[in-house]
Structures are given as C-alpha cells and as structure tokens.
C-alpha cells in the first residue's frame, strides 16, 4: 500500500518503516499516526514480516514531536481524542507480537520519544537526542510518555526529564536505560539489520510469549507475575517450535522454527 507520510520496504523478513515528513522533522500529524497504525495492523497478520524497524527520513530527526498546528487546535474533548489516538498506536506497537526496533537517527522528542519508547528495542545513532519537552509548550506528554519513561528509566529520572523538559544526548540516554545501544550514525541501519537478523533466528512463538510475559507481568505482584510466566511457559512448551528447538539442540543443528 502506498502511504503519504510513510515509506515501507519489506525484505528478508524485515519491514523497514520510514517516517517521511523530513521538511517538518517527521512530526507526527494525524495522517502519519493513522497510516502508521494501518501499517502496524498489516504487519500483525503478515507471516512474512518477522521484525519491524521504524526510523525517520533525513539525517536530522527520527520524529521531533507532534504536529504543533494540530496540537494548538485541540482542547478539551478534542485533546483527549488526540491523545488516545496516539496511545492506541503505541499500544499496538508494544503488543504487536513481533519485535519492533526503533532506529533513532536524530531528534526523538515529544511524540517521537514516545513512539520510540513503545518499540521493543531502541538503537540510537550517536547523534540522537531524546526528550519530553511538552512542558515548554504548557502541555504534558500525551502518547504514553509519563508512563513508559518512568518504567524505562525510573520515576525519579522521569520526573526530572518531564518536569524540566530537558533533552538528553544518546550517551546519557544509554546510561539511564532509555536506549539499548548507541552506534555511529553512519552504521545505524547496518547495526539494526544485524540485530533484526539475530532476532529472526529465534522462535517466533517464544519471542511473542516472552514479550507478553514481560509486558503483562510488569505491574503485577511478584507472585502473580510468576504465575503468569508459568502459564505462558506451559503454552510455549506445547508448540511445534519448542519441540523443534529441543530436538535441534540434541541433534547439534540449527532449529527450523515455523512459528507454531
């Protein structure tokens, strides 16, 4: 499908989605959110897609926030609806059931940072910059930033970053756990594709259930979360992929996972 605000390329099991509004630093307007939601829904049902990569067009930005014009026009109920559309997108990304890698090639601010945080893993160019600067505009993060940032970096750091609106460079983002890896900008997509290749060697069902275990158990008590993990372990152990993985190990060969 051709999109107005996205470029989508699928090759060898990897779907690369490029946010394509470079003239406005890939700001997340309503059309982009709608189109990205549509693309994510398509990836869910496409067995040929094993890993999704999201990046930004140009060298300056992954996504430098929400579209300010749209934000300025929204108030009250309209603002709630705007936030919920963005939140649905980030939840859909988080719950896709397939690994999603944010290849952060520049500014990831406001909604862009929130989009990256909804991805399974974040690989940043050494030129990347992260932040939730909404307070500088008199608003608060609305696409999940107040919740995911605290879960990734801790409540204290999240309070500081959101209340001051301070941006952080890639090395500081790595140190606080906001990103998983930092690589030279020229090597970003090669590093992301290599990581995607590693993930595609694993059992798709095991990847999906591992993500479900982490997301679902995060806010449970330890006892509840352990029970959740045990149940998912039982589901996974009954799959063809588990049998193939165990037999392949005993036979000293690479497993041929089928995703079932």
What pLDDT sits at residue 72? 65
What pLDDT sits at residue 250? 84
* Type and span of the H or E element at 14: strand 14-19
Cα–Cα distance for residue pair 194/137, rounded to 1 Å: 39
Catalytic residue among 134, 224, 244, 251: 134
Q: What predicted TM-score, i.e. pTM, was given to this entire model?
A: 0.92
6-200 homologous superfamily: 2-enoyl-CoA Hydratase; Chain A, domain 1 (3.90.226.10)
Torsion angle, alpha carbons of 24, 28, 31, 32, to 10: 100
C-alpha distances out from residue 44 to 5, 142, 182, Å: 20, 25, 28
What pLDDT sits at residue 252? 83
Burial (CB < 10 A; 0-12, 13-18, 19+), residue 91, is middle
Q: Pick 204-250's CATH classification: 3.40.640.10, 2.40.128.20, 1.10.12.10, 3.40.309.10.
A: 1.10.12.10
User: Is 134 annotated as catalytic?
Assistant: yes
Sketch the domain layout of the chain as residue ranges. Answer: 6-200, 204-250
Burial (CB < 10 A; 0-12, 13-18, 19+), residue 251, is exposed
What pLDDT sits at residue 171? 97
- Which residues, in sequence order, are bridge partners of residue 107? 61, 129
Over the chain (260 residues), what is each successive 10-residue block's mean pLDDT? Answer: 91 96 94 95 94 96 83 71 90 95 97 97 98 93 94 96 97 98 97 96 92 92 93 89 84 83
Catalytic residue among 114, 212, 240, 251: 114
What pLDDT sits at residue 246? 83
């Amino acid at each position: 499908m051709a999109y107005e605000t996205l470029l989508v390329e699928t090759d060898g099991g990897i779907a690369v989605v490029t946010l394509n509004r470079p003239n406005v630093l890939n700001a997340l307007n309503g059309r982009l959110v709608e189109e990205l939601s549509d693309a994510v829904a398509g990836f869910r049902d496409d067995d040929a897609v094993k890993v999704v990569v999201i990046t930004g067009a140009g060298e300056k930005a992954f996504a430098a926030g929400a579209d300010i014009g749209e934000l300025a026009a929204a108030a009250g109920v309209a603002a709630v609806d705007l936030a919920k559309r963005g939140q649905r997108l980030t939840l859909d990304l988080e719950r896709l059931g397939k690994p999603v890698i944010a290849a952060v090639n520049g500014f990831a601010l406001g909604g862009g940072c929130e989009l990256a945080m909804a991805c399974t893993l974040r690989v940043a160019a050494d030129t990347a910059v992260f932040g939730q600067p909404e307070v500088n505009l008199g608003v608060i993060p609305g696409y999940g930033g107040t919740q995911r940032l605290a879960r990734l970096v801790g409540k204290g750091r999240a309070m500081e970053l959101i209340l001051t609106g301070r941006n952080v460079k890639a090395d500081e983002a790595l140190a606080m756990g906001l990103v998983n890896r930092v690589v030279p900008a020229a090597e970003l997509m090669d590093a992301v594709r290599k990581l995607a290749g590693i993930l595609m060697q694993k059992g798709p069902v095991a990847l999906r259930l591992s993500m479900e275990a982490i997301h679902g158990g995060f806010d449970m008590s330890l006892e509840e979360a352990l029970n959740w993990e045990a149940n998912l372990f039982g589901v996974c152990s009954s799959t063809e992929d588990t049998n193939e993985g165990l037999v392949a190990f005993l036979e000293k060969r690479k497993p041929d996972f089928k995703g079932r």
